[in-house]
Amino acid sequence: MKFDKPAGQNPIDQLKVVGKPTDRIEGPLKTTGTAKYAYEYNEQVTNPAYGYILGAAIARGTITRIDQTAAKAAPGVLAIVTAANAGPLQTGKFYVSRFLAGPQVDHYHQAVAIVVAETFEQARSAAALLKVEYKKQAGDYDLEASKGSAQPPNPGPYTPPGETLIGDFEGAFKAAEVKIDQTYSTPDQAHAMMEPHATIAKWDGDKLTCWCTIQQLNWGIRDLGVILGIPKENVRLISAYIGGGFGGKGTVLSDLVAASLAARAAGRPVKLTLQRPLMFNNTIHRPKTIQRIRIGAKQDGTITAIGHESWSGNLPGGMTESTIASTRLLYAGANRLTRLRLAVLHLVEGSAMRAPGEASGMMALEIAMDEMAEKLQMDPVDFRIKNDTQEDPEKPGRKFSTRKLVECLREGADKFGWERRNAKPGIIREGDWLIGMGVAAAMRGAPITKSAARVRLDSSGKITVETDMTDIGTGSYTIIAQTAAEMMGVGIDQVQVKLGDSSFPESSGSGGQWGAASSTSGVYAACMKLREAVAGKLGFDVEKAQFSDGRITVGDRSAALADAAKNGELVAEDTMTYGELSKEYAQDTFGAHFVEVGVNAFTYEIRVRRMLAVCHAGRILNPKAARSQVIGAMTMGVGAALMEEMVVDKKVGFFVNHDLAGYEVPVHADIPHQEVILLEDIDPTMSPMKAKGIGELGIVGVAAAVANAVYNATGIRVRDYPVTLDKLLRAV
C-alpha cells in the first residue's frame, strides 16, 4: 500500500481499541520472568560455550604481540579469536567502528581477543592470562583542545548540512536592539540501559542465527552480513524482547560480531555478553558538544537573527551530533545561521542516543531563549509564544502538518501554576530551600518509514500478526495488537503478536521516534488485505463491510470471521510505503516542559520537586504507554541536567567512570511527581494511523527546563552541563 495523499476516514477512526489506555499484553511475561531476552534462550541452544571479550588497554597504537600460551592451557578453553585468525572483517553501513583491533588499536577497550571456554568463569579467567604488548601512539581525547581543527561533517543520510544561511545573519545580529552571545557545553553521556549487550550465536553450515539485542533487525542482518562477508540471506536475528536500547542497540555492535566469530571458531553455539565497562568504552555513546548560540531581537521580543554553531568529536568517518536540528525549525526569524563542525577524537564512537541532536541541541537553545527573555524583560513563556511560526522558517510557504507548540506552552503554564513564578531569581524561599521554576519548549522530528507485516486468520477467529518490529520496552506488542484488533473488529485478546525475528516481514524497527507510527501503519496495510480476503471468501463487498465483534456485516447479512478460515487459515501481507507528503509538509512533534526545583541555600544541592510535560504528537495510539514513554524520557532528562557525565581521562584516553557506580543516573528518590498532558489531535499527512512518535519528544527540552529552574531559584546561570552543586558553589 502506498500512502501519498492525506488520510480520510478509515477503520482506525472507530477508536474502539486504538486510542484506549491499554495494559501491555506482554506485561505478565515480563513480570513473571518468562519473557526471553537475548541471553536466555536455553531451550533453543543447548550445551553452549561461553565467550569473553578482552578490551584494549590503550586508546591508540598497535598490538605488537599477544602471548596466548597460558590462556590456551587454561581449563576449559576451546578457542581464542584475534585479528590473526578471525578472517577478513569489514565495517557495517551505519557505525564506523572496527569490531576487532589488530594490529591497529582505534580506541580504548576495542576488542583485542575473544576467549571461548566451557563456562563463563573459565573464559573470563583465561582472558586475564593473555599477555598483550602494545606500542602506544599519541591520541586526541579533548574536544576543547581539538576544536580548532574541526571540519564540516561529511554529508550523509543522518547528517544535516554543515552550514545553513538564510538572509543576512551577521548583519541582522549586529544591528539587533537586544542580543545575547553565549557558549554552552554538554558532556559525553552513556545509554546505560538495564540489559547489557548480549548475543547467542549458532552456525548451521554457512547459515548464522543470533539471539541478540538489536533495535533494527533489517539493519542488523545487512551489517552483520557485510562485516562477516556473508550474504544477509544467510543471517537470521531474533530479538523478541530488549531490556532498553535508547539508540544504543541500533544495529550490530561488538557482542554480535564477537559471538559469531567465537561460535565459528569453537564449532558450537556461543553465549556472550558485554561486561558493563565495555558498554561504556567499547560500544557507542552520546558525544560531548560545545555550542555557541547568538540571538538578536527587537525590543518588543521579535527575533530578527538566530545563529547556532556546534562542535563535537568522533572517530574518523563518524557522524556529527546534529545539535542544530531544532533551531532550524522551532522559532521564527528572518536571518538564520547554523553551523556544524566535527573534530577527530580517538574515543569510542559517538552515535545515536535518544533524540540524537535535538536532545543536546535544546539543552543549549532553551537556556539561550531563557537568557534572551530575561534580557528583554519578558516572561519566558510569552517570548517563546511570540516567536512561534506556522511554516518552515527556512522554506517559507512549507506549512507544518500540525503544530500546537503555543497550545502546549499555554496549557502547561496554566496547569503548572506558572503565574506564581517570581521573575526575579533567588526570591522564593521555603525554610532552607530556594525555590525556582523553569520552562523549555520541545520539538522532535516525526519521520516515518516503510514497514511490512503479515497477518493470519485461523478457524477460531484468532488474528496473528508477524513483523520483525522490536519492542525495547516501549509497548510495540500492545499498539500492534490494538491496530490489528481495530482493523479486524475483534477484541485485543483475540490477537497474537509475534515480533523480533528477521524471518518475518521487514518493519521500520525501533529508533528515531519512527517505530510506533511506522510499524502500526504496516499492520494497517496488511489488515486491509486480510479484510479483502475475508470479504472475498464470504462473498461480501469489502467497501461496504463493517468488521465488528468478530463478524463481518453488510446490511442485514452477517458472518463470523472464523467462517472465512474454516477450510484453512487466510494469510495476507503488505508493506506501507510513502509518497512526497514529508516534503510538502514539515512533520514534527512539539511539547513544553515545566519544572520546579529546590536548591539548598547552604549546600546548594538540587532537588527536583515537580515536573509537567505537555505533548503534541498526533493521534495517541495508547495513552497509557505514551505516558510511560514520556515520564521515562523526563527522568532521563533530569539525569542529563544534573548528574550524567562520562569523564574522560585525557592522558590515557578513556571514560573513567565506566560503570553504574561511577556514572550516576536518576533513582526513585531523585524523581518527584511527574504529570503528562497529551493534547488530542490527528495528523492525516503521516499515515492512515494519523499518529506520530512520542518516545524522544519527552526528553527534548527537559534538561534546559531543569537548568532554567535552578537559575530562577539561585540567580546562578550554569551553561556547562551537568548542573552540579560544585558549579553553583563556585559562583556564590
Whether the pLDDT of residue 369 is over 90: the answer is yes
The answer to whether the beta carbons of residues 712 and 438 sit under 8 Å apart is yes
How far is residue 279 from each of residues 270, 432, 525, measured CA to CA in Å? Answer: 19, 40, 38
Whether the pLDDT of residue 695 is over 90: the answer is yes
DSSP state of 680: -
For residue 57, give the nearest of 121, 3, 146, 128 by alpha carbon.
128
- The pLDDT value given to residue 155: 84
- The pLDDT value given to residue 157: 84
The answer to whether the beta carbons of residues 50 and 198 sit under 8 Å apart is no
Q: Domain 2-24+448-577 - what CATH class?
A: alpha beta
Residue type, 298: K
Mean pLDDT in residue range 324-347: 98
Q: Other C-beta atoms within 10 Å of 67: how many?
A: 12
- pLDDT tens sequence across 2-21: 999 999 999 999 999 999 99
State how far the Cα of 359 lies from the Cα of 312, in Å rounded to an integer: 14
Mean pLDDT in residue range 504-527: 98
Average pLDDT, the chain: 97
Do you know the residue count of the chain? Answer: 732
Q: Given pLDDT bands bounded at 50, 70 and 90, which one contains residue 692? A: very high
Mean pLDDT in residue range 427-456: 98
- pLDDT tens sequence across 468-481: 999 999 999 999 99
Instruction: Identify the burial level of 637 via C-beta atoms within 10 angstroms of its C-beta, where 0-12 means exposed, 13-18 middle and 19 or more buried.
Output: buried
CA 363, 365, 370, 371 torsion: positive or negative? positive
To the query of whether residue 696 is one of the catalytic residues in this protein, the response is yes
- The pLDDT value given to residue 498: 98
- The pLDDT value given to residue 159: 86
Q: Which fold has domain 147-188+286-446+584-731?
A: Aldehyde Oxidoreductase; domain 4 (3.30.365)
- pLDDT tens sequence across 543-602: 999 999 999 999 999 999 999 999 999 999 999 999 999 999 999 999 999 999 999 999
Whether the pLDDT of residue 720 is over 90: the answer is yes
The three-state secondary structure class of 389 is: coil
Mean pLDDT in residue range 384-388: 98
How far is residue 525 from each of residues 20, 292, 531, measured CA to CA in Å? Answer: 21, 45, 10
Domain boundaries, the chain: 2-24+448-577, 38-137+193-281, 147-188+286-446+584-731
- The pLDDT value given to residue 340: 98
For residue 20 the three cell numbers come to: 484506549
State how far the Cα of 421 lies from the Cα of 379, in Å rounded to an integer: 10
Alpha helices in 393-514 (DSSP H): 405-416, 476-488
Question: Do 2-24+448-577 and 38-137+193-281 show the same overall fold?
Answer: yes
What's the whole-model pTM score? 0.98
Q: Domain 38-137+193-281 - what CATH class?
A: alpha beta
207-212 and 235-238: which strand pairing? Answer: parallel
Per-residue burial over 74-99, b = 16 or more CB atoms within 10 Å of its CB, e = otherwise: bebbbbbbbbeebeebeebebbbbbb
How far is residue 45 from each of residues 41, 200, 214, 349, 501, measured CA to CA in Å? Answer: 6, 8, 19, 32, 16
Which of 358, 371, 374, 696 is labelled catalytic? 696
DSSP state of 139: -
- pLDDT tens sequence across 73-92: 999 999 999 999 999 999 99
Q: Which stretches does DSSP call E strand in 158-262?
A: 163-166, 178-186, 198-204, 207-212, 235-238
CA 4, 8, 9, 13 torsion: positive or negative? positive
Share of the chain above pLDDT 90, in %: 99
For residue 183, give the nearest of 306, 304, 309 by alpha carbon.
309
The answer to whether the beta carbons of residues 436 and 425 sit under 8 Å apart is yes
State how far the Cα of 25 lies from the Cα of 32, in Å rounded to an integer: 13
